[in-house]
Structure 1
Amino acid sequence: MGSETTPGRKVMVVADPTRESAGALQYALSHVVLENDELILLHVENPSSWRNAFSFLRRSSLSSTSVPNLEGGDVDFLEAMKQVCEVSQPRIRIRKEKVQMEAKLKDKDKANAILVSCNTLGVDLVIIGQRRSLSSALLGYTSIKRSGSSGLKAFDTAEYLIENSKCTCVGVQKKGQNAGYLLNTKTQKNFWLLA
């Protein structure tokens, strides 16, 4: 029998101009994607989100002198992430996807938009950067919602995706430059992976 290559998986990384997203992309490139895989960078656009927030990639370990335009003024972070992928894994297919979201919609709507995109694109694995809970609470990054009699509760987009995705979803927290990753899935919580 001839040697047939197995069909690649579709791996989606939720792409935002944040350190958490950069850590998730770094994890995907170094530990997940293989030669036949397709890497989909999905960004859910929110018109009211902050602008010029791409400085995370300049300081991130993802940045490289061989990646053009990272030091320039206004940089399309999604294009720059794609360039990082091409330098790091030149043999994988990379696709950028954008989903438009209304400014007044909340984090749960963003999570649902990601789930719909996963189903539409036939994604096999979703990787999302997860924020550290203490800094999220102190800096107010997560949105707050009312939850019945329990009062106020923080909404965590990554946890929502992990619990509600039909495919495997991995929440990634990068722990320092060389300290590794803290991974969360539906079946494994706080799994430590050294870099």
Structure 2
Amino acid sequence: MEGGTTPARKVMVVADPTRESAAALQYALSHVVIKHDSLILLHVDNHNAWKNPFSFLKWPSPSAVSAAASSTEGGGGGVSGGGDLDFLEVMRRACEIAQSKLQVHVEKVEMDGKEKGAVILHHSTLHSIDLLIIGQKRSLSNAILGQRRNGSLRGLDTAEYLIENSKCTCVAVQKKGQDGGYLLNTKSQRNFWLLA
């Protein structure tokens, strides 16, 4: 390391129009990435999945996403409706507001009949990702049934599949309340509580 600087890392956040994905990005911006890192927002699109037109309305404004990540001014207002890709633009702008020197790339890929977890793993390997971050939703039924979901690889949800099979470190993030911090899961740490 020259001059005591940390080498730049490649961090990938799985981007979806969900609260879990917003929490994963918020965690990445506030606790993981630094100014010379590269951040890739990867969205895996499934044209066969039913689209909930109201899920986009739950997405916070760029200033709300970055508020916990940075004390810089909150630009922009609320989220305007319309279009599947608007949430990716909101996420990219939130990154720019939180950390202006951060290199942010947005990538949208198709599932092409493959499982979402397999597509994410392929692209994380393709980009030589150092850290993979995904939002994770836990429900009582998942906890009772041992994380089983229909259509998931080997009975695991996507986040658990990535934790178990990723070559790089994978962190599944759950936001606990407005100021409650994060519950993190990795291969070596389960249910690690990180205060906001």
The answer, yes or no, to whether TM exceeds 0.5 is yes
RMSD of the TM alignment (CA)? 2.7
User: Which aligned pairs between 1:10-89 and structure 2 lie closer than 5 A?
Assistant: 10-49=10-49, 50-52=51-53, 53-58=55-60, 61-62=64-65, 66-67=75-76, 70-75=78-83, 76-89=86-99
Name 2:70's counterpart in structure 1: none
For 2:106 and 2:97, how far apart are their aligned partners in 1?
16
Name 2:168's counterpart in structure 1: 167
| Contact 1:67-1:83 within 8 A present in 2 as well | no
User: Which aligned pairs between 1:1-195 and structure 2 lie closer than 5 A?
Assistant: 3=3, 5-49=5-49, 50-52=51-53, 53-58=55-60, 61-62=64-65, 66-67=75-76, 70-75=78-83, 76-102=86-112, 105=114, 109-134=115-140, 143-144=149-150, 154-195=155-196
**How many matched pairs?**
181
For 1:88 and 1:146, how far apart are their aligned partners in 2?
34
Gaps of 5+ in 2: 68-73
Name 1:150's counterpart in structure 2: none
For 1:154 and 1:166, how far apart are their aligned partners in 2?
20
SS of structure 1 residue aligned to 2:132:
strand
For 2:166 and 2:188, how far apart are their aligned partners in 1?
13
Aligned-residue sequence identity (percent) comes to 55
Distance change in 2, residues 1:28/1:135 (3 Å): farther
Residue 92 of structure 1 aligns with an amino acid whose one-letter code is L
Gaps of 5+ in 1: 148-152
For 1:190 and 1:4, how far apart are their aligned partners in 2?
33
Cα deviation, residue 135, structure 1: 6.9
For 1:25 and 1:194, how far apart are their aligned partners in 2?
16
